[in-house]
Amino acid sequence: MKLNFPCENHKISLDFGFDASDDLSLKGFYELFDNKHPGVDFDLPEGIDIFAAFEGIVVRVENHIGMGNTIGIRNGNILSLYAHLSKIEVNLGEIINSGQLIGESGNTGKATTSPHLHFELRDLRYKVLKDMVFKPEFEMEINNFQDQFNYKINNSNNPKNLLFLSKMYFGSEEFAEKIKIVNNLKINFDEILPQDVDIKIPNFN
C-alpha cells in the first residue's frame, strides 16, 4: 500500500521523532510518546484541503482534547490520523479512496500553537501508543502493512465484545458479523470476549 501526501504542500515543518523535551512552546504535548513528536506537521493556513493518504475505512471522527478535530482512517494494521482540522467531510464507517478530500486544515485542540496539519501513522499490532507510531515515508510503499492482524483482548479499560471491536476497527457495528466469521466464534455479539485471546481483525474490503 502506497502512502501519498495528505496535502498539496509537501514541506514538513516538524519532523517525526523531534524531541520536544526542551521546547517550552511544545511542553507536555507528546508526554505519551516520551516527548517525541509522534507524526509529521505541515504548516498550512486554516481552510486548506486535506486528502486521504491511502484508501481505508473511517474509524475515528472526534474532537480530541489535544488533537482537536481528528479523522482516523484504517487499512489493515495501519491507522492514519489527521489532526487539528477546521472541517471534517467524512463519517464513521465510510470507505475512503486514496486522494479523496476528507476535510480542511485548522488549529483546533490544545496541542497546537498555529494552524497546521498533524499527520500520524500507527501500526495497530503494537499495544502501547509510543510503540505504535512510526515515521511516514511519503510516495513509498508502507513496508509494515498487513491486510489482517491480531488483537489480543484486553478488558481492563473497557470490556470488549464483537460490537465494540467492530466500532473500534470499522467505525460502526456493521462488521461484528465479519469478525465473528473470520474467527469462527460461536458467541453473541454482546458477549464479553475472554481476556488475552487473540482475535483476527479482518480488513474492510
Name the residues that contact Zn ion, by CB under 5 A: 41, 118
Output the smallest distance, CB 71 to Zn ion, in A. Answer: 15
Output the smallest distance, CB 57 to Zn ion, in A. Answer: 23
Residue 87 CA to residue 52 CA, distance in Å, equals: 14
Output the smallest distance, CB 107 to Zn ion, in A. Answer: 12
Per the CB < 8 A criterion, the answer to whether 108 and 87 are in contact is no
Output the smallest distance, CB 117 to Zn ion, in A. Answer: 8
Pick the closer one to Zn ion by CB: 118 or 160: 118
Output the smallest distance, CB 41 to Zn ion, in A. Answer: 4
Pick the closer one to Zn ion by CB: 137 or 190: 137
DSSP codes, 49-63: EEE-SS-EEEEEEEE
Per the CB < 8 A criterion, the answer to whether 68 and 141 are in contact is no
* Residue with nearest beta carbon to Zn ion: 118
Pick the closer one to Zn ion by CB: 74 or 118: 118
Pick the closer one to Zn ion by CB: 79 or 201: 79
Output the smallest distance, CB 20 to Zn ion, in A. Answer: 10
DSSP codes, the chain: -EEPPSSS---EEE-TT-B-TT-GGGTTTTGGGTTB--SEEEE--TT-EEE-SS-EEEEEEEEETTTEEEEEEEETTEEEEEEEESEE---TT-EE-TT-EEEE-B--SSS-SSSEEEEEEEETTSSSHHHHEE---TTEE-TT--SSEEEE---SSS---HHHHHHHHHSSGGGHHHHHHHTT--S-TTSPPPTT-EEEE----
Pick the closer one to Zn ion by CB: 19 or 190: 19
Pick the closer one to Zn ion by CB: 44 or 57: 44
